[in-house]
Amino acid sequence: MSDLPKPFRRFLQRYPEVEKAHMELSLTINRQGPLSERERRLVRLGIAVGQQSQGGIKSHARRGLEEGISAEELRHAALLALPTAGFPAMIAASEWVEEVLAERTES
């Protein structure tokens, strides 16, 4: 649990029942359609990019790497934001993905 971001750890400590319900909802939604785990991760990364959510982008990039998504695929997912979310969102997302990739090579 220590590798989780501090705000999320604090949330888990304060609201364990809310997180349990959130996780159950997420699992239920995952079972509702034909997308694979890999596809769902990339979709969620794209949503985080559109929201310009640094925490979300980094979380989905880390989890994507753990699930076998390559660095180049993560980079491409961030680049795809350019025509829809705009240049600033794409640049920010690309940088946050690169920070996750750098963390991976440092450890």
Domain match, 54 and 88 both:
yes
What mean pLDDT is predicted for residues 64-75?
97
Residue 89 belongs to domain with CATH number: 1.20.1290.10
Give per-residue pLDDT as tens, 28-65: 999 999 999 999 999 999 999 999 999 999 999 999 99
Cβ(56)–Cβ(77) below 8 Å:
no
Q: What's residue 1's pLDDT?
A: 47
Give per-residue pLDDT as tens, 1-24: 457 788 999 999 999 999 999 999
Tokens of residue 63, six digits: 């989890």
Residue 105: band (very low, low, confident or very high) from pLDDT cuts 50, 70, 90: confident
Domain match, 63 and 96 both:
yes
Domain match, 40 and 21 both:
no
What mean pLDDT is predicted for residues 79-83?
96
Domain match, 48 and 11 both:
no
Scored b (16 or more CB within 10 A) or e, 4-20 reads: eeeeeeeeeeeeeeeee
